[in-house]
Amino acid sequence: MSSQSAIPNPQSAISVTFTLNGSSVTVEIDPADRLLDTLRYRLGLTGTKEGCGEGECGACTVYLDGVPVNSCLIPTYQVRDRKVETIESLDPRALEAFERCGATQCGACTPGVVMTAWWIRGHPDLLRTHTIRELMAGNLCRCTGYDGIVDSIKEALGER
């Protein structure tokens, strides 16, 4: 399900300022705009993808204050004064383990998968209580069968 951002109604437009990939941005939005649409259609950051639009597939994963969230389920006004990071902010090395392990095929899920995977890499303490598969359960991939994804995260963790 894809959607275009509504044209802001001047009566109800909200000015929202937040930190996006390390820089402060201010954008006039309609209250109905989801963060996903603001990122893609207002700010031109199309690395974040829309898959299911219901918080199931994780293709739209971004970091909000450092934690992976579904940008399709967040009204843009809720990120005012907060910190948002998208796939565009990641170190390109985030993809190397993916390439080596065959963790990507069609690519539709890849930006979201890489976001969650890179978060796990940055928080290895999570693996005391969680398996990689449980932490990755919010990112659906219909191509790889997940083994390549899990292998690549193990490899990325080993590189630290």
Partner 1 sequence: MNALLPESIPEALDMLARDPAAVPMAGGTDLLVHWPVRIEAHDRTYLDLSRLEDLKPLTWKADELVLGALTTYWDVIRDERVGREFPLLVQAARQVGAIQIQARGTWAGNVVNASPAADGVPALMAYDATVVLESRRGREEVPLDRFYSGYKEMRRRADQLVVAIRIPRRTYSFQIFEKVGSRRAQAIAKVGLAVTHSDAGWRVVAASVAPTIRRCPAVERLLETGARAGVSSSEDLSPAIAQDVAPIDDIRSSARYRNRAMARVLYHDLKDFWRPRA
Cβ nearer to partner 1, comparing 50 with 151: 50
Contact 89, 47 (CB under 8 A): no
Token pair recorded at residue 107: 């690519």
- The nearest distance, CB 74 to partner 1, in angstroms, is 6
- The nearest distance, CB 12 to partner 1, in angstroms, is 6
- The nearest distance, CB 53 to partner 1, in angstroms, is 6
User: For the chain, what is the total number of helices (H) and then of strands (E)?
Assistant: 5, 5
Cβ nearer to partner 1, comparing 45 with 136: 136
Token pair recorded at residue 26: 């201010």
User: How many other CB atoms are found less than 10 A from the CB of residue 2?
Assistant: 8
Range 72-83 burial, b when 16+ CB lie within 10 A, else e = bebbbbebeeee
- The nearest distance, CB 6 to partner 1, in angstroms, is 8
* Interface positions with partner 1 (CB under 8 A): 1, 3, 12, 14, 30-32, 34, 53-56, 58, 61, 64, 67-70, 72-75, 77-78, 116, 119, 129, 134-140
One-letter amino acid for residue 132 of the chain = I
Q: At what angle do helices 110-122 and 147-158 cross, to 10 degrees?
A: 40
Cβ nearer to partner 1, comparing 55 with 102: 55
Cβ nearer to partner 1, comparing 46 with 78: 78
- The nearest distance, CB 18 to partner 1, in angstroms, is 12
Contact 82, 40 (CB under 8 A): no
Cβ nearer to partner 1, comparing 99 with 134: 134
